[in-house]
Structure formats: C-alpha cells, structure tokens
C-alpha cells in the first residue's frame, strides 16, 4: 500500500487509518505516533473525558464543552 494513500480507494484508506488507530490505542507508547511529553495516555483520557478502552465519553465531552473535563464519577 503506498504510504501517501495516492491511488487507494476510500475503503482502503479507511482500513489503513483504522488499523493505525487500533495499534496506537492498544500500545500508545510504541510506533511513529507516540504521545507527547505533556501527559500520559491515561491523563489525556481524563483531560478529554474519553475512555478509549470502554468506548465512552463523559456527558461534558458529548455536549461539546472544552477540556479539561471535571473528574469522572467513580465506577
């Protein structure tokens, strides 16, 4: 598959993108798309109000409020 995506169908590009995202979410410290130096992956999830593992967002995030999010309720 060409790195630039030129000559690929939309489905091929979507598949390649989803593969990259899945790899990153499984191991965010590895590969070419690493986290920055500001916060850990878990700290980013709390900041953004997102749980990638559980595929959930806080209502605050769903309603388009700007980060940082208030602390999530336990459980």
Within a domain: residue 18?
yes
The parent domain of residue 33 ranges over 10-62
d(CA 51, CA 42): 9
Beta bridge partners, 50, equal 57
pLDDT at 69: 87
pLDDT at 14: 92
pTM of the predicted model as reported, rounded to 2 decimal places: 0.59
Within a domain: residue 67?
no
Within a domain: residue 74?
no
Tens-binned pLDDT, residue by residue, of the chain (75 aa): 455 667 889 999 999 989 988 887 777 765 566 677 778 888 888 988 998 888 899 999 999 999 888 887 765
CB 28 within 8 A of CB 50: no
25-to-33, 54, 74 alpha-carbon distances in Å = 10, 12, 22
What total of structural domains would you count in the chain?
1
pLDDT at 62: 92
């Amino acid at each position: 598959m060409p790195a630039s995506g030129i000559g690929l169908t939309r489905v091929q590009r979507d598949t390649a993108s989803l593969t990259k995202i899945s790899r990153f979410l499984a191991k965010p410290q590895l590969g070419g798309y690493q986290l920055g130096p500001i916060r850990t992956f878990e700290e980013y999830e709390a900041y953004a109000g997102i749980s990638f593992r559980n595929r959930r967002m806080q209502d605050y995030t769903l309603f388009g409020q700007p980060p940082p999010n208030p602390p999530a309720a336990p459980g």
